[in-house]
Amino acid sequence: MKLTLNGIMEYYRSHFDRGVLCFIRCDDCSNVFYYPRDGCPRCGSVSLTLCESSGRGTVFSYTKVHRKGVPDAVYAIVELDEGFRLYTNIENSEPSVGSHVEVFMRETNRGKMPFFRMIKDSPDPQ
């Protein structure tokens, strides 16, 4: 289905309000991506589908930023279970590559926006 940027933003906004992360899947090449575009960044197709994400993923890479007087900030690329990646910041955490994270929404001056936090791995079954 052909999407407009406004349509995508509306879909994202209404899902963020309900605490749900979303992404876009290309109908032609199955590429998945997060940042709103009206064409597939891989194949250029305009036949796209809006999808809901589980909101769970793993840390793909991260950078720690030290600034005087404030807690370290962690900027990360998170890869969601559905395969798409997004840039985010993970607060109060010591992540490593592969750490499990989940989305949560926080009120910002642009409305509710997705952030990520670490989730404790359940212990391996004995």
Residues that bind Zn ion (CB under 5 A): 26, 28-29, 31, 40, 42-43, 45
Q: Are 8 and 16 in contact (CB under 8 A)?
A: no
DSSP-assigned letters across all residues of 95-110: --TT-EEEEEEEEEBT
Least distance (Å) between residue 44 CB and Zn ion: 7
Least distance (Å) between residue 110 CB and Zn ion: 28
Least distance (Å) between residue 30 CB and Zn ion: 7
Cβ nearer to Zn ion, comparing 42 with 64? 42
Cβ nearer to Zn ion, comparing 29 with 119? 29
Report in angstroms the alpha-carbon separations of 105 from 22, 45, 55, 99, 122: 12, 30, 10, 19, 23
Q: Are 92 and 73 in contact (CB under 8 A)?
A: no
Cβ nearer to Zn ion, comparing 31 with 58? 31
